[in-house]
Amino acid sequence: MRKVRLFFSFILTLLLCLNASTAQAVETLPQPFFKYLSSKYLADPGVILIDGATNEIVYQSGAEKPRTPASVLKLTTAAAIALTLETSTVFTTAIYKTEKKGVFVIWGDNDPWITSNAKYRDANKRAYMPTLIKAAFASDKKLKKITLIYKGVNNSDIYYAKRALNRRASVAYKPLSKNVEVESLITEKLAEVKSPPLEKMIRFALLYSDNVLSQRLAMVATGRNGYPLTKDGLNKMMQEKISSIGVDVTGMNIVDGSGIGGSNRISAVTVSQLLLKVKSEPKLRVVYNSLPVSGESGTLVGRYHSTAPQAVGLVKAKTGSTRHTVSLAGFATSGDKDYVFVVIADGVGRTRRLQDAARNAIDRMLGTITKPPVIGLTPPGSESDTATITP
């Protein structure tokens, strides 16, 4: 039985090599590359490898098939928001008095960074919604109950702010009617909170694969581009922004900004073309600079040390993992060149053991082609890890 398994493993590796010869335009890949690619744990993934200097495909297999990408999809979210707003953009949320006692207006511009969790506030210096509600009560010590009218603020942020302050029964809230202008209601500003620049939010979302922040960034981009704040509106916005920079979005369907949805679809070809743009488009440079580095930062900090130590510091990529998908997409340094690579294994098992085995196979595969940079060239740099991962 063991001989039969070895025979079929040899045949599969041979077929992969033959496929490589038809797609290969630059060089011959090492045999171990195909050994790890043919791992049963990857279950026939979508793979593409591109020479970053010439943009020529070195190898591809199943790369045109739209697949469930997991958090690799956050690359499209980061690109869409970076193409929509300047990276220096800061979001402000403020609370105002009105002419009616006990009625206040919270007015914001949909700050993706704001939170009602003190732990995240302290760890990551996030804007803190309860600060605004406290200011309302502090403005009049006789107030026992208040009403908050809001615009440009998420319902859940106010709800959890009430819980954080233990004032669930004493704070009523409702969205501002669409036909009412905020300026007609407000009088004195009581307090405001601000986000850090958008650049920091993009970096945090990619470095730590923050699902909530990524979803909020995607919805900000959707609204700012004039689309309805729905799944369909988000998908149309993504199609527009990603295709506007010359990326082929054939088969792409996006239902959220985080990649956790099982209905998300994108091909390895589309992701690879986006990565090439991330490196060349000035507006998208923030995306490249925000990617985790193998064995050194973000969601890659614990990888490669045992699987492919020779690749530590040489892979700069976005990770992905959901129930049936393990993915990785980014850049790998190989001497005097950088490869662009995408691996979307969307047929892996659900258990932690099977998913870890798939990650290890990907890491070892990339370890066969990574090499220290040639002196005088700049490799993917490591980044400091000062923030805390937000669930």
pLDDT per residue over 227-261, tens digit each? 999 999 999 999 999 999 999 999 999 999 999 99
Q: Kindly state whether residues 175 and 243 are assigned to the same domain.
A: no
pLDDT value for 378 = 52
**pLDDT for residue 219 is more than 80:** yes
**pLDDT for residue 24 is more than 70:** no
Q: Kindly state whether residues 21 and 124 are assigned to the same domain.
A: no
Domain count, the chain: 2
Does 311 map to a domain? yes
**pLDDT for residue 313 is more than 50:** yes
**pLDDT for residue 1 is more than 60:** no
Percent of the chain at pLDDT above 90? 77
Q: Kindly state whether residues 159 and 210 are assigned to the same domain.
A: no
Helix (H, G, I), strand (E, B) or coil at 181: coil
**pLDDT band at 368; cut points 50, 70, 90:** very high
Give me the mean pLDDT over the 106-122 stretch: 91
- State the chain's mean pLDDT as an integer: 89
Domain of 120, in residue numbers: 92-196
pLDDT value for 166 = 79
pTM metric for this prediction? 0.87
pLDDT value for 123 = 83
Cβ contacts of residue 287 below 8 Å, gap of 6+? 75, 78, 79, 82, 202, 206, 278
Phi then psi for residue 348, to 5 deg, are: -80, 165
pLDDT value for 260 = 96
Does 210 map to a domain? yes
Q: Kindly state whether residues 44 and 118 are assigned to the same domain.
A: no
Using the structure block, give the residue that is written with the tokens 């850049």: 331
Does 182 map to a domain? yes
Does 9 map to a domain? yes
**Dihedral sign (CA 27, 28, 34, 36):** negative
**Dihedral sign (CA 259, 261, 267, 268):** positive
pLDDT value for 179 = 87
Q: Kindly state whether residues 209 and 292 are assigned to the same domain.
A: yes
| Range from 82-86, 122-126, 327-331 carrying the lowest mean pLDDT | 122-126
Q: Which residues does residue 371 pair with via DSSP β-bridges, in sequence order?
A: 334
Which of the listed residues 138, 170, 196 is the one where a domain comes to its end? 196
Q: Kindly state whether residues 122 and 173 are assigned to the same domain.
A: yes
Does 384 map to a domain? no
**pLDDT for residue 118 is more than 90:** no
Q: Kindly state whether residues 38 and 145 are assigned to the same domain.
A: no
**pLDDT for residue 379 is more than 60:** no
Does 42 map to a domain? yes
CATH of the domain at 28: 3.40.710.10
**pLDDT for residue 210 is more than 90:** yes
Using the structure block, give the residue that is written with the tokens 């591809």: 60
Q: Kindly state whether residues 318 and 188 are assigned to the same domain.
A: no
**pLDDT for residue 382 is more than 70:** no
pLDDT digits (tens, 9 = 90+) for 46-82: 999 999 999 999 999 999 999 999 999 999 999 999 9
Q: Kindly state whether residues 207 and 305 are assigned to the same domain.
A: yes
Q: Are 132 and 95 in contact (CB under 8 A)?
A: yes
**Closest residue by Cα to residue 195 from 153, 167, 165:** 153
pLDDT value for 27 = 58
pLDDT digits (tens, 9 = 90+) for 327-336: 999 999 999 9
Does 388 map to a domain? no
Q: Kindly state whether residues 137 and 268 are assigned to the same domain.
A: no
Q: Kindly state whether residues 243 and 183 are assigned to the same domain.
A: no
**pLDDT for residue 5 is more than 60:** no
**Closest residue by Cα to residue 165 from 140, 145, 195:** 145
**Closest residue by Cα to residue 211 from 74, 68, 67, 385:** 74
pLDDT value for 117 = 85
| Range from 4-18, 75-89, 152-166 carrying the lowest mean pLDDT | 4-18
Q: Kindly state whether residues 183 and 209 are assigned to the same domain.
A: no
| Range from 5-19, 151-165, 206-220 carrying the lowest mean pLDDT | 5-19
Strands 146-151 and 171-175: parallel
Axis crossing angle, helix 198-207 with helix 74-84, rounded to the nearest 10: 170
Give me the mean pLDDT over the 305-325 stretch: 97
Cβ count within 10 A of residue 26: 16
Give me the mean pLDDT over the 75-99 stretch: 97
pLDDT value for 390 = 33
